[in-house]
Structure 1
Amino acid sequence: MNFPKRPLELFTFSTESDRDREEWQAILDSQQCIYSDKKCFKTRKSEPEISIGTCTVGYKGEPIIICPNRFLQNDRIFLDCLHLLKNHEPGNQLHIASEIEVIGGNIDYFLVSARRQEVRDYVGIEIQALDTTGTVWPSRQQCIRDEIGISVKKFPRSSKTYGMNWKMTAKTILIQLHHKATSLELFGKHLVLAIQAPFYSYMSKVFNTSVMQDADEKDAVHFHTYNLPQEADGGFTLELSSRYSTTTVGIETMLGMRKDVEVSEEQLVARIQAKLSPETLLRI
């Protein structure tokens, strides 16, 4: 389906679903995120008491997630990492620990297998939603007024609407992924990046993803890509699309940090040989 360029989800509820104005008014008043069970953390700088609440927006016909909490629906991203807990045994408890510091920053979540509060195994999980350029606020207000039918305060009109900051988002998360995965790789553990399939498609065009392969549990770094199909009631459900993996060296190659590794010995010898001349001869 070709979705319009406007918010598709507000405070975790689909603007494509059939809800009356009273229901929407209650949703907008509560400003709650059902995935975090807290007030939406995305607030306006000029009005910090007002949460923006945009989880997903339409962009070039596709639903694009712009809030990391949106990936928490049904704990899907955690369940999709269970197979990486090699030391998990029947009887162990599963935990979700958040914001754990490692070299390179904090890892968003750890899926942990434990028995009597003693850690037996763990998997690091990073989430990356898309950063936007510009502001979504005018589109948000217009959606509430025109699609939902609720009056809103005047909002700025502009020919410039929001865009997607694909390149900066991709480069930033790859650098962070490399730093954070280095420690886990030394420990023989895994770090999983949960992203949307359109974001991975962009990475494949801009970065050297030849190092990526179908998910191999021997690799330290895993990419789990997700689609966001629309259900019959108009809502959206997170769904695992593909799994890939590589090593920290592979991430370096993607970032262009190891281009020299890609030079073959034959190419190297040819380059050396081209420099040889009587002037380069070492005289003894």
Structure 2
Amino acid sequence: MTRITELYGIPTASDPHAVDWPTVIQSQQCPFLSRKCLKNRKSAPDQTIGSCTVGYGRPNRHIMICPFRLLERNQVFEDCKSLVTLHQPGNEWHIVTELNVPGGSVDYCLASVRREKVVDFVGIELQTLDTTGTVWPERQRFIHGHGVKVRAMDRKSPKLFGMNWKMTAKTILVQLHHKIETFEHLSKKLVLVVQDHLLNYMKHQFSFSHLEAARLGDPMHFHAYSLEPIGERFRLQLSERLSTDAAGIASCLGMKTEAKLDLEYIHRQIESKISTTTLMSMNIPIADLS
């Protein structure tokens, strides 16, 4: 049984009579990008890897290792539309790649556009698990078993692969910490799209207890997707949404932040003055301040 779950978007458990694997391997097409796969081998730049999802762990879990796998049916963009709050009927939806912002770049931007002018937008980051080692020998053994000629040294290689859970999670949180302040300052939303397994790891290994079920007013959102089997295929399904702000991301990393000190100071002043006499009510004048 191969540990490659999906290769070029096709489940490896598919009926072998229904898939022409030699043609699939030769064409190297990614169905989620509608173009040639972009995951190239460093030692052979013209050769793509094509592994979207692998089986890993005990019990075995289907782990997405290519961020483009998250683009299936553009569902992740559909699920972000509610965060583009200034959108109106008649506006166009646009998906823009590589948006440069202070602190780095954002993978995608979903924008509401009217008469070629941006009305509102949401930034979207895609993150899947980084691997350690190499999946290449496992890939080569699979395609060799389905009629594709491969080098014996590749399919017989003892090299294995693993999941770099800690580095993947910490790296993306640090990146979010740099970027979310910009979005918060602009009163815009930033969404991190991940697989449910990665979010569960982050919740256990980092300080996530302060994150709440998604609130529209928060600038930082987490959208977690499960990979559900539908017949012989797999389908993305939104399984959990959380949200926080810039200070919340800092807290996830165990960092102290002064981003909200001024606001908290004002909140304390207001709260110290709240009483029954300050309660707004119809037909009751505000107390004279003189």
TM range, smaller chain: 0.7 to 0.9
Identity of aligned residues (%): 47
Larger proportion of helix? 1
**Is residue 18 of structure 1 aligned with residue 15 of structure 2?**
yes
Q: Give the Cα–Cα distance (whole angstroms) in 1 for the partners of residues 144 and 179 of structure 2.
A: 43
Matches within 5 A, 1:186-201: 186-201=185-200
Closer, same or farther: CA 165–192 of 1 in aligned 2, 3 Å:
same
Q: Which residue of 2 aligns with 1:108?
A: 107
Alignment-derived partner of residue 207 in structure 1: 206
* SS in structure 2 at match of 1:229: strand
CA distance in 1, matches of 2:2, 2:196: 18
SS at match of 1:48: coil
SS class of match (2:62): strand
Correspondence 1:46-125 to 2 at 5 A: 46-60=43-57, 61-125=60-124
- From the superposition, tell whether residues 59 and 259 of structure 1 become closer, same or farther in structure 2 (CA, over 3 Å): farther
Contact 2:94-2:113 at 8 Å conserved across structures: yes
User: Is residue 258 from structure 1 mapped to residue 248 from structure 2 by the alignment?
Assistant: no
Partner of 1:32: 29
Contact 1:5 / 1:59 at 8 angstroms: preserved in 2?
Answer: no
Gaps of 5+ in 2: 260-290
Q: Is the 8 A contact 1:208 1:254 kept in 2?
A: yes
Distance (whole Å) between structure 1 residues aligned to residue 18 and residue 197 of structure 2: 33
Any conservation in 2 of the 1:21–1:150 contact (CA below 8 Å)?
A: no
**What is the letter of the counterpart of residue 254 of structure 1?**
C
**Map of 2:181 onto structure 1:** 182
Secondary structure at 1:55 match in 2: strand
Q: Compute the RMSD of aligned alpha carbons.
A: 1.8
Q: Secondary structure at the match of 2:24?
A: helix
Match of 1:221 in 2: 220
Taking structure 1 as reference, are residues 187 and 260 closer, same or farther at Cα in structure 2, changes over 3 Å only? closer
Match of 1:136 in 2: 135
Q: Count matched residues.
A: 256
User: What is the distance in 2 between the residues matched to 1:143 and 1:194?
Assistant: 29
Instruction: Tell me the residue number matched to 2:247.
Output: 249
Distance 1:22 1:151 in 2: 17
Closer/same/farther in 2, CA of residues 150 and 158 from structure 1, 3 Å limit: closer
Q: Secondary structure at the match of 1:258?
A: coil
CA apart distance, 1:131: 0.2
Shift of 1:43: 1.4
- Give, in angstroms, the shift of residue 5 of structure 1: 6.0
Counterparts of 1:143-162 in structure 2, within 5 Å, are: 143-146=142-145, 148-154=146-152, 155=154, 157-162=156-161
Deviations 1:230-273 (A, max 9, x none): 111x1111110100001111110111112999xxxxxxxxxxxx
Separation in structure 1 between the aligned mates of residue 156 and residue 198 of structure 2, nearest angstrom = 29
Question: Distance between the aligned counterparts of 1:71 and 1:6, measured in 2?
Answer: 20
Give CA-to-partner distance per residue, 1:94-147, whole Å, 9 cap, x none.
00011010001110001100111111110000000110000000111112123x
CA contact (8 A) 2:141 2:155 kept: no
Q: Within 2, Cα distance between the matches of 1:260 and 1:115?
A: 38
Q: Which amino acid counterpart does residue 240 of structure 1 have in structure 2?
A: L
- Which residue of structure 1 aligns with residue 237 of structure 2? 239
Q: Cα gap change, 1:63/1:112 in structure 2, threshold over 3 Å: closer, same or farther? A: same
Instruction: In structure 2, give the amino acid aligned to 1:130.
Output: L
Whether the 8 Å contact between 2:111 and 2:122 is mirrored in structure 1 is yes
Check 1:167–1:156 CA distance in 2 against 1; reply closer, same or farther (3 A cut).
Answer: same
Distance 1:99 1:20 in 2: 40
**1:37 Cα offset (Å):** 2.0
